[in-house]
Structure 1
Amino acid sequence: MRLLISACRAPSRLTSTHNVFIKHNYNKREPRMSRKTVLSALGLAGLVCAPAGSEAIAQEWATEEVIVTAQRRGEPLQNVPLTVTVLSGEALLDLGIDTPAKLAAQTPGFKVSTVFGEGTNPTLFMRGVGLLDFGDVTETPVALNLDDVYLGTQAAQAAPIFDVARVEVLKGPQGTLYGRNATGGVINVISARPTSDFEGRFGVQFGSFGQQIYEASASGPLAASARGRVSFRSNRDDGWQRSLTTNQGGFGQADVASVRAQLEVDVSEQSTLLLRTDYARSDGTSVLYPLTGLLKADLVTYCTQNEAAANLCFNSAGERGVRDPRVGLSNIPHLRNEFEFRLGSATYTHDFGGASLTSITAFQSVDKIFEEDADAAALDRGFTSYALDAHQFTQELRLNGGEDDSLKWIVGVYYFSENRSSSVESPPNFATFADQKSKSWAVFSRADYPLSEDITATAGARYTYDSKSIDVVSPGVMSKESRSIHKDSITGTVGLSWRTNEKTLLYSNFSTGYKAGGFNATFVFDPDSIGPVAPETISSFEVGVKSGYYGGRIFLNGSAFAYEYNNVQSIALDTNSNINVTRLVSLGDASIIGLDGDVILRPAEKIRLIVGIGVLKTEIKSTNVQSTPFPPGFVSVNGNPLPMAPDISFNWLAEYNFGLGGGGDLIIQVDGDWRSQFSFSATGADEANERSDGYGLLNASLKWKDPNGHYVIEGFIDNVLDEIYLSFNSNVFADNAAGAWGKPRTWGIRVQADF
């Protein structure tokens, strides 16, 4: 049950639906559009806006305006010549989105694989660009920033989202203003800031599997020139899985507590200092993996790929998997899934009049222990423990200048330093320990210049230098080995945007991105397998449209894009060792073309409809041949699609407000998403166990709001049809595959109040 009481009344609250669409001053008197302009705008919209999850939806469609900082300055979303999806804090609450992994359901072109199951390292994919890796020494091509601070580890990216103003999802390579491995895109989580007036929030939610969620926040003045904000969230349940082998329950348990404190001080009339600290701790348990046998009843002969995927086969102990996400066959009584996240930052801003300076200094640490039963069975061979101790320091300086009707510019410098100590152990025989040090610095600039009243040109560049070193040891097998990387790169963007009228913006961009090389540190027994793996690069050409018609009752947003993706980093199974392990490799090159966009309709005051689509065509172009244990041999990846890249994906939302007059509003909402068949790995096109059939998820809620919008009571059901689906699956052992289930049907009630 989701029971939340929101005590923080924002002056411009965004709706309880997904993305928050923005209007571009629809109350202004506007010139009549020519027939040619209308046909041009609608023609491009038809190409790139085949419906897909909305960019933003304001509660009052004709009066609200969403300001975003996607380009490192505050500006209306509809003026930003980039593909950006925005979700307000209220939308996140109402959709039950509390982790980055859950954003994907309402963001076209964005997919997340939870390789180890819900509550663990999310693996982010934007338009087919991502890195499916089990290791703890790699960085993802889709960058996640919390209040302008880059979260370098996947463990940090699992930290909860709460008490935020909005989340901005930028698609495509961001190699100019965002330079830290953003070949796929950037997710910006922006916390709600301290306020000059008192606000408060308290909430509670109860639901399936004993779930209890509590939230609280308080914000207001501390002195004439100081404001503070404190936020808290706790999420705990009893776990949603049990083992049929031991009859032990409590697997997949959430037990996460998070707190954030902020102090904002006006140092002078021109200067502000914002101090933040974040802390999150999880003491949950890991999920149980589904078992997929690979052997026929004689326990010797291999099944066919399709027989195994249909769960008609057995492992070497004669066990066959159970196709019920709520149960598993592990013989291990308890599996830890624990992490501790700390972040402290200081943001200083100074307005010089013609320019403004922003300095962001941040320290971050992550500790993690994760345990799994990798064979998903009642065998004594699958227990594996992963540990990580990471410390990160970043410093960014930006200087912004210019006016809207003249040259606007940004220049900046960025520094990144990180130390990671990781281990992976499978007692009693196998273990690998690694210490990695990374340093990076960059200088960047960007300028936007109006060529005319309606056309603006953009150009930007970033120089990045990366240095990485690693020490790896596998006791009893391999003594300490050291490797290093030193690499620099220049990336950037050029673009044009055309404001055809007050309601329509057309844009085109050419952008490049770069991701540093990396190492292997997961069960390393051969010095040659450490790496390094070559850096990957990407080039993107994109055209898009942002438009709204009929007084804000129809919105069309979308884009068409083409990528050249080089030296794609990917994991591959290594069957040459005495155990099967995954390796980070350079897969080769790939091409990506696609469309994503959205259509938002408000045919009547009480009705809102949102439909979204993402269309992708990805193809690996490589001579790479990957090994497979089932049956033992090798598989070519040439011509295969990239992992986590369905050809078609939809998301939708339908809402009807009954309107109770003086009794408030009663709102029924149905939302969901669907994707076509996709692969979990580069070889998934040839291995049925490593791909997913198409599936969809349906959610529903009934919500009451009081007339003043201070209180909300909502009942909801997620995964209404109790769809059974896999979030990941892989042929790991010679006799069985294992993966992770998606969560089954859940229900809840939440109450929300603002004061």
Structure 2
Amino acid sequence: MNRKPLIHRAPLALAVTLALSAWSAQAQDATKEGEAARAAGQNKQLETVVITAERRVENIKDVPNAVTAISGEKLDVLNSSGQDVRFLSGRVPSLNIESSFGRAFPRFYIRGYGNTDFRLNASQPVSLVYDDVVQENPILKGFPVFDVKSVEVLAGPQGTLFGRNTPAGVVKFESVKPSQKRDGYFNISYGTFGTMNVEGAANLPLGGDWSARVSGQVQHRDNWVHNANPKGATQDTEGYNDRAVRLQALYEPHKQFSALFNVHNRELKGSARVFRASMIKPGTNDLVDGFDPKVNYTDGTNTQTLHATGGSARLKWVMEGFNIHSITAIESVQPFSRGDIDGGYIYKAPPPYANQGEALFPSESSSSMSGHRQLTQEVRLESTAAGPMRWQGGVYLFDERYTAISTDYSSATTLATGHVDTHQTNRAYAFFGSVNYDVAPDLTVRGGLRYTSDKKDLDVTSSYANLNTSTGTTASTKDSKWNWDLSGTYKLNKETNLYARVGTGFRASSIQGASLFAGQSQATPENVTSFEAGVKSEFWDRRARLAANAFKYQVKDLQLTAVGGTNNANRLLNAAKADGNGFELNLELLPTEQLLLTVGASYNNTKIKDASLSLPKCGSGCNMLDPLVPGTNRYSIDGNPLPQAPKWVANLTARYAIPTADGNEFYVYTDWAYRSKVNFFLYEATEFTGKSLTEGGLRGGYIWNNGKYEAAVFVRNVTNQVRATGAIDFNNLTGFINDPRTYGVQFKALF
């Protein structure tokens, strides 16, 4: 197999970035022409994008980091058809999100860097921060997106200012805060498969120094996949009822103090991810002939529930020359997910079902968690005094505990046959600081430093007498690390900034407990160093906004998860290192008052570099593409790309408005997202290479009464493209697919 890259693209990406900066500088002439037009009231401008990527409010152009923000109508459109947080996948350069648990357990990848581990105590290198609170457990990361002011995706290591485990980046959500205004909104959509999305929020001025905001979302979809095996315990799947609510209260007695309280809850009941045995045609990565997304063939039970509750208190004191921030939070989640892991039936059914959905042997299990509790505390000081220097620093505390329970069932009786309980505690603390200094009117330098200490304790108990105890049933880790970043921003002119950044990140050791199939495994800490250079510009009289960058990173002692095999084991290991490089681009254009365009694109070239690393052959009868290690039955994965890491990601939106004489508006809106092929696992195999995926949406609507009311029709996954988005490697070429095409109508009212 030829493992040589077609071209080393990092220098090319840097050249493209510099060329774009020159282009934006040349656009000053167009800007001057546009100023006269604006004075005559003939044209509009793009809205200024304000973000908190550096833990303070800033114009996105001034932040020396690759940040993409989604808000407003674009966020509403993407979230209109009842999808979960995975709707963001591909909508941001270098972002991929997938799940083998459905709505409950999303796995995030930025610049190809993530973790495919399916255990409930898995750690991920992409951190999710919701309302300034890190959501560490992967189940917490699936909290629904509603009444959100903005979503920010920060690429590259963010090891200085944010929570923990951020070597790949951060996905940051910020809810709309309460205010003294008496307003709100109501939004409802309904579509095929009985898909319904109801969302609303209201500000509640309480008089005096208090205000509140209550917001909620209810999502529903009917079961649309039918089990054609009459012996199956569950006959209809892929439906859900997902309810979430958030209550916020804001106390502002005076300008020197404020307290924002947040209580939130989620209740999910529906289907676990539907696995489909014999889905992939042997020798190809095509779906089998006659594949029908609306039909599966299983002999097991499928169900999923989730209860999540949390709260936080964000306090702010305004002192002379600095502010004090305190963020105290608690999160608790109780998931239960049971499914037919083999994805089929173990006895051939009569025609026309024979050989479709057939599994080689039965496997039915559930994953659940009890006693989960995450406590976090952060105290941060932020300077406000005038002058060339601005600083912030603080302390962060993290304490989490839970028991993850894996239960096996008999497919014949549907009764539990045994369970393995993994008890884990995780305590961490950190000290951090950051300084910005204006070296000159056109040059700002930023530097940050963070010390992290992380400790984990794990022990396993089981009802099985034959638990694999070859490597023990208890483990403890204790890691500490200094991380830093340094960046500079140079104002090329009024419209354009150039920046460069180098940063490091750290992920503490991971442990996976013993099971029936594999012994306890452990991965040592991983460390990443990343280099990035880019340009950010607003030009053409602020009717165009450009952000482009080139990057290169290396992860040492990369934590990997070997998933699958003949016994569906889950084993942690370290690769000596992995390299990644590429470029990213975001472009917004307002060519006319009626037309708005956005374009995003990224290229990510990732490679595992460890000549000693090899894995057994897959357990599903696949065709291995990796070279066999001489004298063994193992295959080298040296030079393979990281799993679930598409080389290319691209997205496009276009909105065209048609004003009416009475001041109302018709509009047409379309959005598209593309990702190139991916490897599902660490090894390369013909059957487990996911094809490229393109999903698009189309929407038409009418807005009236000064924007107070909106009615629209929409379609998601316009082309109805059906693709395998993941696989289960231990049975008969089992996989799962993306969501189907849906049509719907929507109504929104502001009040």
- State whether TM-score is above 0.5: yes
Q: Distance in 2 between matches of 1:137 and 1:674?
A: 31
Stretch of structure 1 that moved more, 602-611 or 497-506: 602-611
8 Å CA contact 2:121, 2:404 repeated in 1:
yes
The equivalent of 2:257 in structure 1 is 271
Q: Distance in 2 between matches of 1:716 and 1:249?
A: 30
8 Å CA contact 1:252, 1:288 repeated in 2:
yes
Q: Distance in 1 between matches of 2:651 and 2:443?
A: 33
Is it true that 1:200 corresponds to 2:184 in the alignment? yes
Q: Distance in 2 between matches of 1:89 and 1:449?
A: 33
CA-CA distance at 1:220 after TM superposition: 3.1
Specify the SS of the correspondent of 1:209.
Answer: helix
Q: Distance in 1 between matches of 2:659 and 2:123?
A: 48
Is it true that 1:694 corresponds to 2:682 in the alignment? no
Deviations 1:666-710 (Å, cap 9, x if unpaired)?
111121111222211111xx3022211223112111011114111
The equivalent of 2:646 in structure 1 is 646
Is it true that 1:423 corresponds to 2:421 in the alignment? no
8 Å CA contact 1:477, 1:525 repeated in 2:
no
CA-CA distance at 1:63 after TM superposition: 6.7
Q: Distance in 2 between matches of 1:548 and 1:351?
A: 33
The equivalent of 1:667 in structure 2 is 667
Counterparts in 2 of 1:751 and 1:642: CA distance versus 1, 3 Å: same
8 Å CA contact 2:323, 2:384 repeated in 1:
no
Counterparts in 2 of 1:209 and 1:444: CA distance versus 1, 3 Å: same
CA-CA distance at 1:290 after TM superposition: 2.4
Deviations 1:476-528 (Å, cap 9, x if unpaired)?
123782100011001110111111122111100000000111111373555xx
Specify the SS of the correspondent of 1:555.
Answer: strand
Q: Distance in 2 between matches of 1:124 and 1:44?
A: 32
Q: Distance in 2 between matches of 1:95 and 1:154?
A: 22
Q: 1:471 aligns with which of 459, 462, 477?
A: 459
User: Quick one: which amino acid aligns to residue 462 of structure 1?
Assistant: R
Q: Distance in 1 between matches of 2:25 and 2:730?
A: 44
Q: Distance in 2 between matches of 1:261 and 1:493?
A: 36
Is it true that 1:112 corresponds to 2:97 in the alignment? yes
Q: Give the unaligned 5+ runs of structure 1.
A: 1-36, 47-59, 295-302, 313-320
Q: Distance in 1 between matches of 2:680 and 2:749?
A: 41
The equivalent of 1:55 in structure 2 is none
8 Å CA contact 2:517, 2:568 repeated in 1:
no
8 Å CA contact 1:291, 1:377 repeated in 2:
yes
The equivalent of 1:439 in structure 2 is 427
Is it true that 1:92 corresponds to 2:60 in the alignment? no
Q: Distance in 1 between matches of 2:66 and 2:176?
A: 23
8 Å CA contact 1:260, 1:277 repeated in 2:
yes
CA-CA distance at 1:96 after TM superposition: 1.9
Q: Distance in 1 between matches of 2:647 and 2:669?
A: 27
The equivalent of 2:275 in structure 1 is 289
Is it true that 1:255 corresponds to 2:251 in the alignment? no
8 Å CA contact 2:45, 2:590 repeated in 1:
no
User: Quick one: which amino acid aligns to residue 626 of structure 1?
Assistant: L
Counterparts in 2 of 1:581 and 1:322: CA distance versus 1, 3 Å: farther
The equivalent of 2:309 in structure 1 is 342
Counterparts in 2 of 1:569 and 1:374: CA distance versus 1, 3 Å: same
8 Å CA contact 1:288, 1:330 repeated in 2:
no
8 Å CA contact 2:25, 2:493 repeated in 1:
no
Q: Give the unaligned 5+ runs of structure 2.
A: 1-16, 27-42, 347-360, 411-416, 623-632
The equivalent of 2:477 in structure 1 is 485
Specify the SS of the correspondent of 1:519.
Answer: strand
Stretch of structure 1 that moved more, 199-208 or 625-634: 625-634
User: Quick one: which amino acid aligns to residue 378 of structure 2?
Assistant: E
Q: Distance in 2 between matches of 1:262 and 1:634?
A: 55
Specify the SS of the correspondent of 2:718.
Answer: coil
The equivalent of 1:386 in structure 2 is 367
Task: Map residues 15-54 of structure 1 onto 2, 5 A cutoff.
Answer: 41-42=21-22
Q: Distance in 1 between matches of 2:64 and 2:279?
A: 50
8 Å CA contact 2:24, 2:496 repeated in 1:
no
Q: Distance in 1 between matches of 2:192 and 2:556?
A: 45
Q: Distance in 2 between matches of 1:306 and 1:599?
A: 40
User: Quick one: which amino acid aligns to residue 368 of structure 1?
Assistant: P
Specify the SS of the correspondent of 1:501.
Answer: coil
User: Quick one: which amino acid aligns to residue 555 of structure 1?
Assistant: R
CA-CA distance at 1:394 after TM superposition: 0.2
User: TM-score with structure 2 length normalisation?
Assistant: 0.87
Counterparts in 2 of 1:531 and 1:288: CA distance versus 1, 3 Å: closer
Number of residue-to-residue matches in the alignment: 678
Specify the SS of the correspondent of 2:250.
Answer: strand
User: Quick one: which amino acid aligns to residue 572 of structure 1?
Assistant: A
CA RMSD across the alignment: 2.3
The equivalent of 1:724 in structure 2 is 722
The equivalent of 1:174 in structure 2 is 158
User: Quick one: which amino acid aligns to residue 363 of structure 1?
Assistant: I
Q: Distance in 1 between matches of 2:658 and 2:713?
A: 16
CA-CA distance at 1:587 after TM superposition: 3.2
Q: Which has the higher contact order (CA 8 A, sep 6+)?
A: 1
Counterparts in 2 of 1:425 and 1:147: CA distance versus 1, 3 Å: same
Counterparts in 2 of 1:575 and 1:93: CA distance versus 1, 3 Å: closer
Q: Distance in 2 between matches of 1:417 and 1:45?
A: 49
The equivalent of 1:614 in structure 2 is 602
8 Å CA contact 1:241, 1:326 repeated in 2:
yes
Specify the SS of the correspondent of 2:152.
Answer: strand
Q: Distance in 2 between matches of 1:243 and 1:38?
A: 55
Specify the SS of the correspondent of 2:580.
Answer: strand
Q: Distance in 2 between matches of 1:263 and 1:243?
A: 47
Is it true that 1:142 corresponds to 2:126 in the alignment? yes
Q: Distance in 2 between matches of 1:581 and 1:548?
A: 51
The equivalent of 2:712 in structure 1 is 714
Deviations 1:292-346 (Å, cap 9, x if unpaired)?
378xxxxxxxx9x625x3456xxxxxxxx862222211123x4111111111100
The equivalent of 1:540 in structure 2 is 530
CA-CA distance at 1:179 after TM superposition: 4.0
8 Å CA contact 2:568, 2:729 repeated in 1:
no
Q: Distance in 1 between matches of 2:345 and 2:19?
A: 64
Stretch of structure 1 that moved more, 218-227 or 284-293: 284-293
The equivalent of 1:681 in structure 2 is 681
User: TM-score with structure 1 length normalisation?
Assistant: 0.86
Q: Distance in 2 between matches of 1:565 and 1:520?
A: 21
Specify the SS of the correspondent of 1:331.
Answer: coil
The equivalent of 1:50 in structure 2 is none
User: Quick one: which amino acid aligns to residue 50 of structure 2?
Assistant: I
CA-CA distance at 1:425 after TM superposition: 1.7
The equivalent of 2:503 in structure 1 is 511
Task: Map residues 57-72 of structure 1 onto 2, 5 A cutoff.
Answer: 62=45, 64-72=47-55
8 Å CA contact 2:654, 2:670 repeated in 1:
yes
8 Å CA contact 2:49, 2:59 repeated in 1:
yes
Q: Distance in 1 between matches of 2:578 and 2:476?
A: 27
CA-CA distance at 1:631 after TM superposition: 4.7
Specify the SS of the correspondent of 1:546.
Answer: strand
CA-CA distance at 1:401 after TM superposition: 0.3
Specify the SS of the correspondent of 2:401.
Answer: strand
Q: Distance in 2 between matches of 1:209 and 1:694?
A: 26
